[in-house]
Amino acid sequence: MTAHLAPYLHLTDNRTAAAFEFYASVFGGEPKFMRAADMPMGEGIDPQAVMHAELHTPDGFHLYGTDMVQEGMPAPQAELAIMTDDAELGHRWYKALSEGGELFTPMERQEWGDEYANFADRFGQDWAINISTPKN
Amino acid sequence: MATHLAPYIHFPRNDAAEAFAFYGQVFGCEPSIQRAGDQPMPGMDQLDPQRVIHAQIQSPDGVNLYGSDDCMDQKITPQGFETCIMTDDTEMAEAWFDALAEGGHVDMPYAAQPWGDSYGQVTDRFGIRWAVNCAGPQHR
């Protein structure tokens, strides 16, 4: 059996397609979009609206999202954490994801011995990247 | 290389320890809970030593989740997302859904859906929204 747990983001203002294209440009992988026009329950909804988006990356990340939000629902208040031991990849993702966004904690060595950064990307999505240091 | 992506949930009511104990039971693994007092760090010495600064579960089935208490006192309710489980194991999906719903609220009962899978949504007793999707036969 296979199972995985992943965040499912509800993005306001129909930004899901743009956000998933961006995440695919950062992490690789081909985003898949199911639009309202493709689905039987999409009646009465903007046919271009993304009902379901998913991205599976070569490094094993899974991200899901949709343009479907409830009235008055704010932007997602969830932090997406990337835990890695690959410093080169961690730095590359940090640079690409934070471009045009807002830095809260720049990538630096932290008290717990790892490199870590915390920021919002250009879509307002919060991320944390922790690059673990090999413990001898 | 070991890399993964997972939601990191900040619990505004500072009940991350209870939440991760619960998630450990649901998913059958031992949660790891680090409190401020366990590992004194500069800048965190103002924190109640009982505050959870990092919690995680890594289940044998591949369910990874991280979280902490509201150490920055942001009081932001986690919202606008679901913690989503995608599986092809019917028995596990139903067991997880029922366990998560205990003491919580079923937002959408777990049932067969037009897209060919079984799916349900639940808000657990800690206010976290979950979605469980089990692939139907044609999606396996």
Q: Would the pLDDT of A112 be above 70? A: yes
3-state secondary structure of A100: coil
CA atoms of B14 and B122, how far apart (whole Å):
21
Asked if the model's pLDDT at residue B123 lies above 80, the reply is yes
User: Which of these ranges, A14-23, A97-106, B35-44, B129-138, has the smallest mean pLDDT?
Assistant: B35-44
User: Which tokens in the block code for residue A70?
Assistant: 């409830």
Q: Which residue of B has its CA nearest to A86?
A: B1
Could you tell me which of B61, B1, B62 has the C-alpha nearest to residue A84?
A: B1
Average pLDDT over residues A63-69: 91
| Predicted confidence (pLDDT) at residue A136 exceeds the cutoff of 60 | no
* Whether A111 and B42 lie within 8 Å, measured CB to CB: yes
CB atoms within 10 A of CB B111: 8
DSSP 8-state class, residue B127: S
Q: Where are the alpha helices (DSSP H) in A73-124?
A: 87-98
Give the chain A residue whose CA is nearest to the CA of B91. Answer: A1
Query: Do the Cβ atoms of A83 and B6 come within 8 Å?
Result: yes
Chains A and B: how many Cβ contacts under 8 Å?
A: 131
Q: Which of residues 39-78 of B touch A (CB under 8 A)?
A: 39, 41-44, 61-66, 76-78
- Retrieve residue B15's tokens: 């009940």
Q: Is A74 on the interface with B (CB under 8 A)?
A: yes
pLDDT band at B94 (very low <50, low <70, confident <90, very high): very high
Q: What is the mean pLDDT of residues A83-109?
A: 94
- pLDDT class of A42 with cuts at 50, 70, 90: low
Q: The whole model's pTM is what?
A: 0.86
Nearest residue on chain B to A84, alpha-carbon basis: B3
Q: Which of A40, A62, A76 sits opposite B81 (nearest CB)?
A: A76
Residue ranges with strand state E in A1-136: 3-10, 32-35, 50-56, 62-66, 79-84, 102-109, 115-120, 126-131
Q: Which residue has the higher pLDDT, A104 or B78?
A: A104
- Spatial CB neighbours of B83, under 8 Å, sequence gap ≥ 6: A5, A7, A8, B7, B9, B65, B128, B129, B130, B131
pLDDT by residue (tens digit) across B38-70?
877 777 778 899 999 999 999 888 889 999 999
Short-list B54, B104, B75, B35, CA closest to A132: B54
pLDDT tier for residue A13 given thresholds of 50, 70 and 90:
confident
ipTM above 0.85, yes or no: no
